[in-house]
Amino acid sequence: MVSNDSEGIEAPAVSEVAGLSEVPGLSEVAGVAGVSAPGRRPIIGLTTYLEQSQSGVWDVQAAFLPRVYFDSVTRAGGIAVLLPPQPVDVEIAAQVISGLDGLIITGGKDIDPARYGQDPHPTTDEPRRDRDAWEDALLLAAITSEVPFLGICRGAQLLNVALGGTLIQHLPDVVGTSRYQAGGGVFNVVPVDVDADTALGALLGDGLDAKVYHHQAIDRVADGLTVTARTSDGVIQGVELTSVPFGVAVQWHPEETAEDLRLFAGLVEAAALYSSRPGSRTNSTAANTAAANTAAANSAAVGTAAASTESDVPAHHA
């Protein structure tokens, strides 16, 4: 157990989280249960908002993320690192991803419809193109490197758009109800059916009651994605990328259900497995540390030998 002194919270070992060893099929999804070695926790990057924000006397542009996101990561046994929107290209994205064991694309504002070839609906948010570009680049880099990832709400939509899919810009126009976004910051609860024969199903079983707050949804599914969850009216609530070891995305907000860490635990477990692979960030760091320690030990040994040799040489007297 690792203690968080600022809150008096102890972070459990990965294998202790949410009964991971008892989750049906988890070993097939993430590789093995309890793969994380003592003291070695996967680094999970979480994307953030970049919005005008107020704190005390300050009213400035600031990067932020609701605490429930990174609390879910730490409670699941990972180490949370926040990734604010910033200038990006392929090389920068690859460098960022190379320092992570897992990635979460979080919820937020609507994606710019121009990214999937549409004009904006009157209800669509003013685009945050900097965040769109940042998250798109990170996600594609994670896919290329097979870094495990989890998309949440906007993150599921971004995965679909990044791979060539489209979105429904305003669900009430299609389903005739606002039950997916009640408004006022209140999360509605809807039953979601999950395909049990998927990575998502291995973690969650065949369904759950999910907390939702979205007025958009996946429309045309991108090539390579598999739909894994829907509501009774056909709205897509989950997709996964089967060409990578762990690429799961959901339309609902699992971070809002503190007692259910199964999705975060699945990601952390997959990230722990990823970090144990030859050539991974963790193993490269461990190898570099071992090499440095060996060099330091050799240097100390040489210094000791030199000192011993000098002590055997008679002092020169003038």
Q: In a structure prediction context, what are the per-residue pLDDT tens digits for the chain, which is 318 residues long? A: 433 333 444 455 544 544 444 443 444 433 333 444 455 899 999 999 999 999 999 999 999 999 999 999 999 999 999 999 999 999 999 999 999 999 999 999 999 999 999 999 999 999 999 999 999 999 999 999 999 999 999 999 999 999 999 999 999 999 999 999 999 999 999 999 999 999 999 999 999 999 999 999 999 999 999 999 999 999 999 999 999 999 999 999 999 999 999 999 999 999 999 999 887 665 544 544 444 454 445 544 444 444 433 333 333 333
The answer on 240 and 298 residing in a single domain is no
The answer on 229 and 124 residing in a single domain is yes
What's the pLDDT score for residue 38? Answer: 52
The answer on 237 and 221 residing in a single domain is yes
Rounded to 5 degrees, what are φ and ψ at 218?
-70, 135
Q: Length of the chain, please?
A: 318
Report how far residue 145's alpha carbon sits from residue 126's, in angstroms, rounded to the nearest whole number. 32
The answer on 120 and 97 residing in a single domain is yes
The answer on 86 and 192 residing in a single domain is yes
Report how far residue 256's alpha carbon sits from residue 217's, in angstroms, rounded to the nearest whole number. 19
Q: Which of 135, 153, 240, 256 is catalytic?
A: 153
Number of independent structural domains in the chain: 2
The answer on 273 and 318 residing in a single domain is no
Task: Residue 215: give the domain boundaries.
Answer: 2-277
Q: Which of 170, 214, 215, 253 is catalytic?
A: 253
The answer on 108 and 17 residing in a single domain is yes
Q: Which of 170, 215, 240, 255 is catalytic?
A: 255
Active site residue 153: yes
The answer on 308 and 198 residing in a single domain is no
What's the pLDDT score for residue 283? Answer: 56
The answer on 294 and 260 residing in a single domain is no
Active site residue 240: no
Report how far residue 77's alpha carbon sits from residue 264's, in angstroms, rounded to the nearest whole number. 9
What's the pLDDT score for residue 176? Answer: 96
Closest CA to 203 of 140, 248, 137: 248
CATH code: domain of residue 150: 3.40.50.880
The answer on 230 and 161 residing in a single domain is yes
Judged by DSSP in three states, 64 sits in strand
Question: What pTM did the predictor assign?
Answer: 0.80
The answer on 103 and 198 residing in a single domain is yes
Closest CA to 269 of 13, 1, 4, 6: 13
The answer on 72 and 118 residing in a single domain is yes
Active site residue 253: yes
The beta-carbon contacts of 172-177 under 8 Å, at least 24 apart in sequence, are 172/215, 173/121, 175/233, 175/235
What's the pLDDT score for residue 60? Answer: 97
Rounded to 5 degrees, what are φ and ψ at 180?
-85, -15
Report how far residue 135's alpha carbon sits from residue 188's, in angstroms, rounded to the nearest whole number. 26
Strands 102-105 and 225-230: unpaired
